[in-house]
Structure 1
């Protein structure tokens, strides 16, 4: 901006000087006849501005008309006069439109500008000093300089205020970024006008911070779950190991005197080893689920899984009344889906194991299978395991799908549970974009309801889903 003002001022000064010089030439031309008459009549003073010299044909001065400041004396030695070269008759006179520059007689002279006009027996040169032109240009230059400095200062101040006001939110962004770098992920940038660039930047930054905070919170929660998982797994594995080690030491020290004692000890060792093996298998299953390994998805029917689970349960608990029914209590209906058969069989097996393990002997169990509408013509294939035991309280229901959660540790110890069965169910169902819910069974008991998106069976596979 300063360079622009300086360039503009220089051009204006140059233009002003040229205009003033042109005005000098016009003044000399307009007053040439008057000054010529004065000098021919013999006057040598009487003007305060013009200098004139009358020369003969040999270039010798015949008369001089020079500016004076008073009438007492000419004081020619104190007055700046132009040094004009002589013009002779042998030399062609210059055009009357042409002007010349001449130095002055004083050391501090600003110079003169003159024109030469031809006469019948000689010539006359008329000059004006540059002093007035230079004084005017100097005053204008000083004014332009002051005005330029003022304009630059004012523009700089306005620009500084405007930039400071416009970028004030950036200082807030900087402070927020510093707080976030220090670990405070809850900080947000205040958004002024969301339509400005800074407003859009602030909104984007806030959205990014929200994602970062969520990611960090998720990582912290995951680490917490992992630490709890490792602690619980270590505790669960230590319990059977302590039992096995204790009976082994009893046997090694000869504390088991009779064959019955040895048989009982070996039975306990075998039981704890089996439970520890089951725990390890469950841990491996959860680890594979956490790794998000791809599913071996293919068309299948939940009705087929329900029938197989009921058949297996009748074999292990012949005293139970185990039936496969529809969701409304009538006959079961096909519930086709696309999923990993092996993992879904484990889901149903875990639910049946829990129903058999934690309900009174002889109590009935129903496996309900069918399809239910959801929204927008979408459907869910549903399979439910309904028991008629004591049920689960509301406090326990909120945590039954947590890993290693046990409503009654002594009961789980007695029945051989690991506390991972329902956690495995929830994880495997989630892999199939499904949900698992705990409901109350009508008349008492607990119902585990699994819903997986409905997928129509291919025509060539429809025979697989027929229920006899």
Structure 2
């Protein structure tokens, strides 16, 4: 028996809405009908009370009582009473007289007590009494007569009860009809109204079953279902983006671990091989022993540099640059050129000003480029860019370093446009930036290589760029640029050389505490 409420409970939203609407509509109709029924009954009863109040027995009736005819049980002059009135008399001693006067030929009347004291009626106030026979009721009123007698005038409530009963059955019929109509038409209206929600439900089920590329239809933008659909689509887009980012991050992590393992495996294998050679051949010649020891030192240094580069990338990705101070890019560029020129004396490296044909004349007067940043990281960026240009270009390639200021404009430098690659977000248009360009007139990079040039351990496959290296220099430079609040980008086309551009938002030298910029290594 306890399970019946659960079985009868509607399981669908449509059934609950129809049931709720049916109960509300039926209850409202029944309440209105009950109020109307009570009002009708009260109004009809007031009409009867008005007739009783207005009726006055004629003087001849009191004369009959005085002559003792009523006491003898003689009922005369029935034609003197209109309609269905009944008149009863109590003598001066309070006893009801046996006779009565009626206008309907007799029949059952009100159930009156034998004594006036048991009647309990106040003079001039109507009351309701049961009939002597059957289940009817009468409305009675008392008045004072001659010589201390009391007169009781009564009217039946048969018509009132019949009208009330008919109204009650009519109300019940209307309530049942309304309930049936609400169930039939309400089901149709609710089904049509919930059709957009049903579509959302079906689409959500398909998405849950694996069709993750679907979107919830949101053609009803002004309704709650439309707002829900838009919110679900926004949530789905964010989930898809998060999933894609997670997949891409996992893929990059796999590639990174594979590349790191490969890069570390080579020097470790060399170290192990030469160390085993020294152990297995103790009698080898001094020349071979020295050669093996030099190779061991060289591979150890290579592995140490690789580990240091990975550690630096991790630090740049975790915390922003902390050693903020004013840096003169011109002096920094000159020092970097001098250091790289010593390592590559056969390369011609020039230094010049950066020109922008759309520069404002007032901005062109800023010939000394001072920025706020970490001098060590900025020097490392320029050193990596210059080393990359000298190592990965054919012999005879000319390298040019240009510096200056420029205004970031839409589709200009510092923004994402075709034939431009960067692992850093673009700068906001209108920003005044300090720029350093490292350009070469080599063979350039193909678009597939250019898109991956800032990835860790990535090295182009072309013969001109197949020199030794770990593939971490540009990744470190890009992360350091973003850590200093700037952007490192590459403009290149096959056969037109490469232009690596470092852009740093211009800040006055007096700004000793700039806002740190969070960094994410790519």
Tell me how far apart the structure 2 counterparts of residues 25 and 308 of structure 1 sit (CA, whole Å). Answer: 119
What is the CA deviation profile of residues 289-334 of structure 1, one whole-angstrom value per residue up to 9, with x for unaligned ones? 23244443322122122101111123223343333222359xx943
Aligned residue number for residue 282 of structure 1: 309
Aligned residue number for residue 464 of structure 1: none
Say if 2:497 is the partner of 1:421: no
- Are the aligned partners of 1:193 and 1:199 in contact in 2 as well (CA < 8 Å)? yes
What is the CA deviation profile of residues 337-394 of structure 1, one whole-angstrom value per residue up to 9, with x for unaligned ones? 2222111111111112122223345654322222223337643222122334444344
Q: 1:297 to 1:111 in 2, by over 3 A?
A: same
Cα shift at 1:36: 6.8
Q: 1:202 to 1:292 in 2, by over 3 A?
A: farther
Aligned residue number for residue 41 of structure 2: 17
- Are the aligned partners of 2:62 and 2:145 in contact in 1 as well (CA < 8 Å)? no
Aligned residue number for residue 132 of structure 1: 159
- Are the aligned partners of 1:334 and 1:369 in contact in 2 as well (CA < 8 Å)? no
Give the number of the structure whose alpha-carbon radius of gyration is greater: 1
Which structure 2 residue ranges, 5 or more long, are not aligned?
1-23, 65-74, 357-365, 410-428, 513-522
Say if 2:50 is the partner of 1:26: yes
- Are the aligned partners of 1:412 and 1:418 in contact in 2 as well (CA < 8 Å)? no
- Are the aligned partners of 1:299 and 1:337 in contact in 2 as well (CA < 8 Å)? yes
Q: How many residues align?
A: 445
Say if 2:349 is the partner of 1:322: yes
Say if 2:436 is the partner of 1:436: no
Paired residue secondary structure (1:263): helix
Indicate which of 79, 87, 90 corresponds to 1:52. Answer: 87
Tell me how far apart the structure 2 counterparts of residues 243 and 93 of structure 1 sit (CA, whole Å). Answer: 126
- Are the aligned partners of 2:456 and 2:475 in contact in 1 as well (CA < 8 Å)? yes
What is the CA deviation profile of residues 96-155 of structure 1, one whole-angstrom value per residue up to 9, with x for unaligned ones? x3334443222x231322334555565654322222222221111222233244445556
Q: 1:260 to 1:393 in 2, by over 3 A?
A: farther
Cα shift at 1:184: 5.3
CA-based RMSD of the aligned residues comes to 4.0
Paired residue secondary structure (1:405): coil
Q: 1:297 to 1:184 in 2, by over 3 A?
A: farther
- Are the aligned partners of 1:52 and 1:125 in contact in 2 as well (CA < 8 Å)? yes
Aligned residue number for residue 100 of structure 2: 64
Matches within 5 A, 1:45-124: 49-53=84-88, 59=95, 61=97, 63-66=99-102, 79-85=107-113, 95=123, 97-106=124-133, 108-117=134-143, 119-120=145-146, 124=151
- Are the aligned partners of 2:88 and 2:100 in contact in 1 as well (CA < 8 Å)? yes
Tell me how far apart the structure 2 counterparts of residues 191 and 34 of structure 1 sit (CA, whole Å). Answer: 84
Say if 2:401 is the partner of 1:367: yes
Tell me how far apart the structure 1 counterparts of residues 385 and 145 of structure 2 sit (CA, whole Å). Answer: 134
Aligned residue number for residue 312 of structure 1: 339
Say if 2:236 is the partner of 1:209: yes
Q: 1:86 to 1:172 in 2, by over 3 A?
A: same
- Are the aligned partners of 2:217 and 2:229 in contact in 1 as well (CA < 8 Å)? yes
Paired residue secondary structure (1:382): strand
Tell me how far apart the structure 2 counterparts of residues 29 and 226 of structure 1 sit (CA, whole Å). Answer: 103
Indicate which of 351, 355, 374 corresponds to 2:389. Answer: 355
Cα shift at 1:420: 1.6
Q: 1:354 to 1:255 in 2, by over 3 A?
A: farther
Which structure 1 residue ranges, 5 or more long, are not aligned?
70-75, 461-468
Q: 1:99 to 1:186 in 2, by over 3 A?
A: same
Say if 2:481 is the partner of 1:455: no
Aligned residue number for residue 465 of structure 1: none
Aligned residue number for residue 436 of structure 2: 383
Between 1:335-344 and 1:291-300, the stretch displaced more is: 291-300
Tell me how far apart the structure 2 counterparts of residues 8 and 459 of structure 1 sit (CA, whole Å). Answer: 78
Aligned residue number for residue 379 of structure 2: 345
Q: 1:377 to 1:126 in 2, by over 3 A?
A: closer
Tell me how far apart the structure 1 counterparts of residues 55 and 501 of structure 2 sit (CA, whole Å). Answer: 118
Q: 1:196 to 1:440 in 2, by over 3 A?
A: closer
TM-score by length of 1: 0.79
